[in-house]
Chains A and B, each alone.
Chain A
Amino acid sequence: MDLTDRAEHRAFREEVRQFIAGHKDEAPEDTTQSYRMQPRRYSEAVRNWQRLLVEQGYACRTIPKEYGGFGASEDILKNRIIAEEFFNAGLPQTLLNQGISMLVPTLLEHGTEAQKQEWIAPTIRGDIFWCQGYSEPNSGSDLASLQTRADEDGENFIINGSKIWTSSAHIAKMIFCLVRTEPEASKYQGISYLIFPMDTPGIAIRPLQTMTGHPSFNEVFFTDVRVPKSCVVGGRGNGWKVANSTLKHERGMLSNATQSQDRLNKIARLLKEERVDGEPVSKSPVFRDRFIRLQARVQSMRLHEMRLMTRAGDGLGSGLGDMICKLIGCELNHQLDALAIDIMGEAGILYEGIPDAARDDFWQQLYMYDLGLIIGGGTAQIQKNIISERGLGMPREPRAEKE
């Protein structure tokens, strides 16, 4: 155990600090979080900032140079230093979206050279927005039962079916999508992972209003959508395997302890600023108790991430350690939101007239959005199956259908 920086990392931290000092005025004001809750096209300021971060190696730093990245070798501690310094300076860090977090790692692992050349660079710069075509109305947790089909027609596939929970479909230029290409194959063998443009004829998008009041999701309908066979990633019939490598990346994106720490810090300020009968809420033993409970949880997850980084640096798989992050992290964020709302009492339910109500990431919005994250990206129940089966080696529930 040694939590100090080695010389190389001390120098790197200094370098990051100098960059921040020299460029902090160029940082955009709109947050990544607000874009995630209400997907819309990135402002020019956001894209410029992202481009700067990619060029300097403060975003997507391990993406090879030939695909538009910085080409640094993997150094988890440097990633951590970047995250810490940007966080402490209150600056937005790399964009997080499904293209950057899910599609790019998938292409790097499974894509053809042409696919990597074409898509990675504009995606990491924030110029191309992707949406994810996985879930269907009848295929949620049981994703592999998906029915959208792609029938062979010469050099093309013809796609028919529909997808749901497709966030950003209305602004996405491209989609990565799971379809059934071998109808006669078994459930897990007949799926392929395709990438194609959202303006291909035959695609219809219908926004899906959510409880947050934002149409952040869509339904997407495919009617005789013709795409070339070259848009398969990772080989025909391998889509399940390819998608699973991507889901792992998504779960990492849905929760991280820095986000939880950020919320906890805001709540600490709220506790002291919010007053009841002239006394700050921080004097209430009940709220103190609730706050410290969550502080211990945030601290445990922050340290847990450090431990996972060290394990990864040692070349050790962390297994169970990684599997719990989505389940615990998303639930923790949800509880933090709930605490903030409760600290504010009646004001906690106002939609206007409180300082933050105009922001789309204020606490009530987060409370609902984070419940969505507990459900999305593999429900809490699916996470528990993963933890118990893959982490603890418990047997699977017998399946009703043949596989």
Chain B
Amino acid sequence: MYFGLSEEQRMIEDSFRKTLERNVTLDSIRAVATGCVPLDHALWQELTSLGLPSLLIGEEFGGAELGLLEMAVAAEELGRTAAPVPFIATAVMAPLALQLAGSPDQRERWLPALASGRMRIGVALAEQAAGARRNGGITARGEKLYGKANFTLDAGGANACLIADARGRLYLLDMTAAGAKIVETRTIDGTRKLSEIHLDAADAEPLEAADNWTCEHILNAGRIALAAESLGAAEEMLRRAVEYAKERRQFDRSIASFQAVKHLCAEMAAELEPCQSLVWYAAYAFDHLKEEAALSACLAKSHIDEVARFVARTATEVHGGMGYTDVMGLHFWFKRIGFNRAQLGGPERLRAEAAELQGF
């Protein structure tokens, strides 16, 4: 038994960390968040050459054919820098769906393009992941799709979108298809937008081999990757809180010497420390222990959603008034954590699923 990263996985971690530290600044996050630029192309290029969108894709299509654990390692680093790039849909869920259930032609058309970062695919599975809200729901009649898909991930600027109908069948929708209207909505996290997709007799090509398991499988992957990203974001918030507390002086002392402040930091550290193992295990289970993948994903994301929220508010509090300002930019991490919590099932939903999975 070896419960830790291999040398290769540590190298992936290290290269993502260094690249992101070099390429993500508060200014670059702000530029995307305030809508000045729709996508940080330079960063996307860097991450593409590091292999982010190709990580899960098979070698025959130009990918690295690695597992979700490697993706989780990269995701944690994306969270650590609050990197303003699309990720969950186009780099995790869409490639997995295409590889599992795409026809040879679909794989040939899409996977190399995804791997090279030339094209991106959004994912509209909010209804499947967390239930339908706000009149969401897609129905198929004949060859056409009708209805509205809410809260679509990474659809802005994407070339296509993975979408499911009410029976759980998966389709690839060309973003320019007749009868499709896409409305992008801002979220609290300015760097992660969601879209509404309105379909009225729109053409979409089915992923013929997709079944319920395909949908469940890619949801598990998305949930684990989100958990990893939130973990990285929370770790960074704690690091900043500790650093700030050491520097900030009041009453002629560093505020880090006050137990009131220290204990908040200790609580954050104590809650966060075991989360790393939860993420690694869930990703490992996804790669190697199929029967545990769904439960592990639910436990990991639900728990980390809660811990990350606690860290987000507490680390902000430790920063005092400065934490509340835009100057420090701490709120970008705070918002990323809030965004991720609501995606693909919040903690209450995931716990209900976990109970169901265990036959309660």
Q: Is the CB of B270 within 8 A of A328?
A: yes
Q: How far is the CB of A327 from chain B (nearest CB, A)?
A: 5
0/1 string, B270-298, CB within 8 A of A gives 1: 11011111101100100011000000101
Taken together as a complex, chains A and B put the C-alpha atoms of A301 and B275 apart, in Å, by: 9
Taken together as a complex, chains A and B put the C-alpha atoms of A77 and B69 apart, in Å, by: 22
Q: Is the CB of A384 within 8 A of B246?
A: no
Contact residues of A between 357 and 403, Cβ < 8 Å to B: 381, 383-385, 387-389, 391-398
Q: Is the CB of A304 within 8 A of B351?
A: no
Q: B158: CB under 8 A from chain A?
A: no
Give the A interface residue count (CB, 8 A): 54
Q: B275's contact among A2, A300, A392, A396, by CB below 8 Å, is which?
A: A300
Taken together as a complex, chains A and B put the C-alpha atoms of A309 and B1 apart, in Å, by: 10
Contact status of A387 and B277, CB under 8 A, knowing A394-B245, A395-B257: no
Q: A310: CB under 8 A from chain B?
A: yes
Q: B355: CB under 8 A from chain A?
A: yes
Q: B130: CB under 8 A from chain A?
A: no
Q: Could you say which residues of chain B place their CB within 8 Å of the CB of A293?
A: 302-303, 306, 351
Q: A295: CB under 8 A from chain B?
A: yes
Q: Could you say which residues of chain A place their CB within 8 Å of the CB of B60?
A: none
Q: Is the CB of A388 within 8 A of B1?
A: no
Q: Is the CB of B348 within 8 A of A1?
A: no
Q: Could you say which residues of chain B place their CB within 8 Å of the CB of A80?
A: 1
Q: Could you say which residues of chain A place their CB within 8 Å of the CB of B4?
A: 1, 307, 310-311, 314
Q: Is the CB of A3 within 8 A of B1?
A: yes
0/1 string, A282-306, CB within 8 A of B gives 1: 1101001101110111011101101
0/1 string, A93-132, CB within 8 A of B gives 1: 0000000000000000000000000000000000000000
Q: Could you say which residues of chain B place their CB within 8 Å of the CB of A327?
A: 266, 270
Q: A1's contact among B9, B259, B261, B275, by CB below 8 Å, is which?
A: B9
Q: A266: CB under 8 A from chain B?
A: no
Q: Is the CB of B303 within 8 A of A300?
A: yes
Q: Could you say which residues of chain A place their CB within 8 Å of the CB of B275?
A: 300
0/1 string, B251-269, CB within 8 A of A gives 1: 0011011110111011101
Q: Is the CB of A310 within 8 A of B3?
A: yes
Q: A289's contact among B6, B298, B352, by CB below 8 Å, is which?
A: B352
Q: How far is the CB of B43 from chain A (nearest CB, A)?
A: 28
Q: Is the CB of B277 within 8 A of A307?
A: yes
Q: Could you say which residues of chain B place their CB within 8 Å of the CB of A4?
A: 1
Q: Could you say which residues of chain B place their CB within 8 Å of the CB of A392?
A: 242, 262, 265-266, 269
Contact status of A397 and B266, CB under 8 A, knowing A272-B360, A296-B299, A303-B277: no
Q: A3's contact among B3, B253, B302, by CB below 8 Å, is which?
A: B3
Taken together as a complex, chains A and B put the C-alpha atoms of A321 and B4 apart, in Å, by: 13
Q: B354: CB under 8 A from chain A?
A: yes
Q: Could you say which residues of chain B place their CB within 8 Å of the CB of A282?
A: 355, 360
Q: How far is the CB of A31 from chain B (nearest CB, A)?
A: 26
Taken together as a complex, chains A and B put the C-alpha atoms of A281 and B101 apart, in Å, by: 40
| A271 nearest in chain B by CB position | B360
Q: A5: CB under 8 A from chain B?
A: yes
Contact status of A310 and B355, CB under 8 A, knowing A300-B275, A304-B274, A394-B262: no
Q: Could you say which residues of chain A place their CB within 8 Å of the CB of B213?
A: none
Q: Is the CB of B262 within 8 A of A389?
A: yes
| B6 nearest in chain A by CB position | A1
Q: Could you say which residues of chain B place their CB within 8 Å of the CB of A307?
A: 3-4, 276-277, 280
Q: Is the CB of B266 within 8 A of A391?
A: yes
Q: B5: CB under 8 A from chain A?
A: yes
Q: A72: CB under 8 A from chain B?
A: no
Q: Is the CB of A306 within 8 A of B3?
A: yes
Q: Is the CB of A1 within 8 A of B269?
A: no
Q: Could you say which residues of chain A place their CB within 8 Å of the CB of B246?
A: 393-395
Taken together as a complex, chains A and B put the C-alpha atoms of A307 and B352 apart, in Å, by: 28
Q: Which 6 A-B pairs have the closest CB atoms?
A: A303-B277, A296-B303, A384-B266, A388-B262, A304-B274, A387-B266
Residues of chain B whose beta carbon lies under 8 Å from any beta carbon of chain A: 1-6, 9, 69, 242, 245-246, 253-254, 256-259, 261-263, 265-267, 269-271, 273-278, 280-281, 284, 288-289, 296, 298-300, 302-303, 306, 348, 351-352, 354-355, 358, 360
Of the A-B pairs whose beta carbons lie under 8 Å apart in the complex, a sample of 5, sorted by A's number, is A288-B352, A328-B270, A384-B259, A384-B270, A395-B246
